[in-house]
A and B are shown apart, each in its own frame.
Chain A
Amino acid sequence: SQTIHQWPATLVQPVGSPLSLECTVEGTSNPNLYWYRQAAGRGLQLLFYSVGIGQISSEVPQNLSASRPQDRQFILSSKKLLLSDSGFYLCALGGEGRSETQYFGPGTRLLVL
C-alpha cells in the first residue's frame, strides 16, 4: 500500500532562514506529487505539483520553490523565510488510474518567528 512520509513533523525557524521540507512516498511508482499549505483556519492552497522527475509546476507566485530529484521524493524549499510562510504543509500523491484521487501525508507544522 502507499505510504507518505514527511519530515520534520514540526519546525520553528527565524525569519530570513532557509527551509527544506521533505516528502517521500512508498508503494507506488511515477506518482503525481503535490505540496499544499494550510494556514490557520483556512482551506488548502495548492503550491506546487509534479508529474515526474524534474517537472515542477507552480500554482501561485511565492517565496517557495520545489524540486523532485527522484521519482518518490519531493522537496519544498525557501532561501529566506517570511512570517507569512507559517502554516501546515501537506504533501500528497495521486495519479494512479484514471482518477486523480489524492492521498495525504501527515504534514509538517512550520512556525516562522
Chain B
Amino acid sequence: AQSVTQPDIHITVSEGASLELRCNYSYGATPYLFWYVQSPGQGLQLLLKYFSGDTLVQGIKGFEAEFKRSQSSFNLRKPSVHWSDAAEYFCAVGGLGGYQKVTFGTGTKLQVIP
C-alpha cells in the first residue's frame, strides 16, 4: 500500500531564511508526487508535481522540490521564505493511468517569524 510520511508536524523559520520540508513516500512503482499548500480555512492549492524527467521540479511561489528515488523522498524547498508562506503544506503520492488513489501526508504547519 502506498503511504506518505511528513515527519515534521510544525516548523518555524525566520522571514528571509531558507526552508526545507521533508516528505518520504512508499509506492510500489514509479510514483507521481505532489506538494499542496493550504492557508487557514481554504482549500488546497497545487504547488508543484513530479511525473518523470528532471528530478528537480519548479513550482509556483518560488518553491521547488527534488525527487530522490534512492531515498524515497520528495522534499520541498524555498531559498527565502516570505511571511505570506505561513500555511500548512501537504505532500501526496499517486499512480499512473486511469483512477489511481492519491494518498496525502498529515501535513507540516509552517510558521514564519519576523
Interface string of A91-113 (1 = CB under 8 A from B): 01011001111111111010000
0/1 interface trace, chain B 38-49, chain A, CB 8 Å (1 if under): 000111111001
| Chain A residue nearest in CB terms to B105 | A43
| Residue numbers in B under 8 Å from A99 (CB-CB) | 32, 49, 51, 94, 96
Residues of A in contact with B, size category: 20 to 34
B34 at the interface (CB under 8 A from A): yes
Beta-carbon contact of A42 and B106 below 8 Å? yes
> Quick one: closest A residue to B94, CB to CB?
A100
Task: Say which residue of A4, A100, A109 sits within 8 Å of B102 (CB atoms).
Answer: A100
Residues of A within 8 A of B45 (CB): 104
A73 to B99, CA, bound (A): 18
State which of A11-19, A44-52, A76-84 sits at the interface with chain B: A44-52
In the assembled complex, the Cα of A80 lies from the Cα of B26 at a distance in Å of 37
